[in-house]
Amino acid sequence: MLSKAANQVCRLQRIRAAASVSTRQASTIADGFLGAIGNTPLIKLQNISAETGCNVYGKAEFMNPGGSVKDRAALGLLQAAEAAGQLKAGGTIVEGTAGNTGIGLAHCAAARGYKCVIYMPDTQSSEKMDLLRMLGADVRPVPAVPLDDPMNYNHQAKRFAESLDNAVWTNQFDNTANRDAHFATTGPEIWEQTQGKIDAFTCATGTGGTLAGVAQYLKVQNEGVRIFLADPPGSVLHSFVQRGVLEREGSSITEGIGQGRITENLKDAQIDDSVRIEDPRTVAMMFRLLKDEGLFLGASTCLNVVAARDVAAKLGPGHTVVTVLCDGAGRYASRLFSKSWLQSKELFDAVPEDCKHLVSLR
Ligand SMILES: Cc1ncc(COP(=O)(O)O)c(C=O)c1O
């Protein structure tokens, strides 16, 4: 006769075996919001792996506590400001951001007792602006103008921080504490999770912090790991990697990625090659990930996954390719799941036939 406790252990083993999925170890207690950032799972993308004969993995950054890869940058920027003595109790964090860095900063600011002011281009999704406001940030949408215009959101953020006492402009684009956060955490996690069996890494860039930091760490471990920059139309980086010139062509619906210059975070980044991904492929991938893999992910992620598939196809079967699953699609639902919005961008035809019913008539 088994004891009650032994019975429960047997039951647990039966349930786990029947589920036939491994149970992730919940290893430690996280120290508040800040301590819960990072250590995200690496997800094998089953269909894309089967299609290419490769292991195609996505780093599940949408599982960070603030919901995106930018939580890591926010933490790195905040810790650097505190270490440099730029922020004292009750101080203000000011940033220019397309949204996700602001969301990470707003969470961190609340957790550490700071105020948070966010300047953002008014072209960004209403979901991101609403969330920032709910998190207590002072959100200031400003017209989307080029960087050489003094009214660009970044310049406005800098000027506002300079006008306050006990405030810091975290400057995510050119503050290399952003890249260093990925060098210190995302890179090592990917290396450990793949047990060093990784042939290529690819992702798109906004600030370039993720790509440059991860690349730097992986190349230290093994110079042979190939780094592919993934670029949307409207960004100058693909032409820079291919031909050494900054050329802009077209535009993209993706948010948070695409760049018009070489940021400090991207300077000296060890990039071997690049791929350019058009919006119809990104949109089609969004629905394929949803329908075939059960993953509800934003457009920059879907561009990353198309890039990972292209890289896997280029390398051939038997290789391991890693990319980044940046954030969830919920932040963009009013656009990406709206028929009229997709039609206005000439992207409705890109929605696969078996997914068209998922798009509302809004
Ligand atoms: C949704 C999304 N994907 C990707 C990125 C790019 O990351 P990084 O700034 O590290 O290049 C961002 C940056 O804001 C983002 O918001």
Q: Do 140 and 120 touch, CB atoms closer than 8 A?
A: yes
List the alpha helices (DSSP H) in 117-163: 126-134, 153-162
* DSSP letter assigned to residue 85: T
Q: Whose Cα sits closest to atom 6 in ligand 1?
A: 206
Structure tokens at 324: 């980044």
CATH of 32-67+176-358, one of 3.90.650.10, 3.20.20.140, 3.90.1150.10, 3.40.50.1100: 3.40.50.1100
Atom of ligand 1 nearest to the CA of 209: 10
The per-residue pLDDT for 19 is 60
Pocket of ligand 1 (CB under 6 A): 68-70, 98, 100-101, 204-210, 256-257, 298, 300, 326-327
Query: For the chain, what are the domain ranges?
Result: 32-67+176-358, 70-169
Q: Whose Cα sits closest to atom 13 in ligand 1?
A: 256
Q: In whole angstroms, what is the distance from residue 186 CA to residue 176 CA?
A: 15
Type of residue numbered 25: Q
Q: Whose Cα sits closest to atom 14 in ligand 1?
A: 256
Helix (H) or strand (E) holding 115: strand 115-121
Q: Which CATH architecture has domain 70-169?
A: 3-Layer(aba) Sandwich (3.40)
Q: Whose Cα sits closest to atom 12 in ligand 1?
A: 256
Q: Torsion angle of alpha carbons 113, 73, 25, 201, nearest 10°?
A: 170
Residue from 103, 182, 207 whose mutation best tests the ligand 1 pocket (most atoms within 8 A of CB): 207
The per-residue pLDDT for 2 is 66
Q: Which residues are catalytic?
A: 70
Ligand 1 center to residue 257 CA distance, Å? 6
Determine the longest span between alpha carbons in the chain, in angstroms: 79
SS3 at position 46: helix
- DSSP letter for each residue of 270-286: ---EEEE--HHHHHHHH
pLDDT in tens, 212-237: 999 999 999 999 999 999 999 999 99
Cβ neighbours of 1 (radius 10 Å): 4
Residue from 100, 180, 266, 274 whose mutation best tests the ligand 1 pocket (most atoms within 8 A of CB): 100
Ligand 1 center to residue 213 CA distance, Å? 13
Q: Whose Cα sits closest to atom 16 in ligand 1?
A: 256
Residues of the chain with pLDDT under 70: 1-2, 12, 16, 18-27, 361-362
Residue from 59, 62, 70, 254 whose mutation best tests the ligand 1 pocket (most atoms within 8 A of CB): 70
Atom of ligand 1 nearest to the CA of 205: 11
- Alpha carbon separation from 154 to 151, 302, 340 (Å, rounded): 8, 27, 31
Atom of ligand 1 nearest to the CA of 182: 10
Atom of ligand 1 nearest to the CA of 301: 3
- Burial class of residue 258, CB neighbours in 10 A (0-12, 13-18, 19+): buried
Atom of ligand 1 nearest to the CA of 98: 14
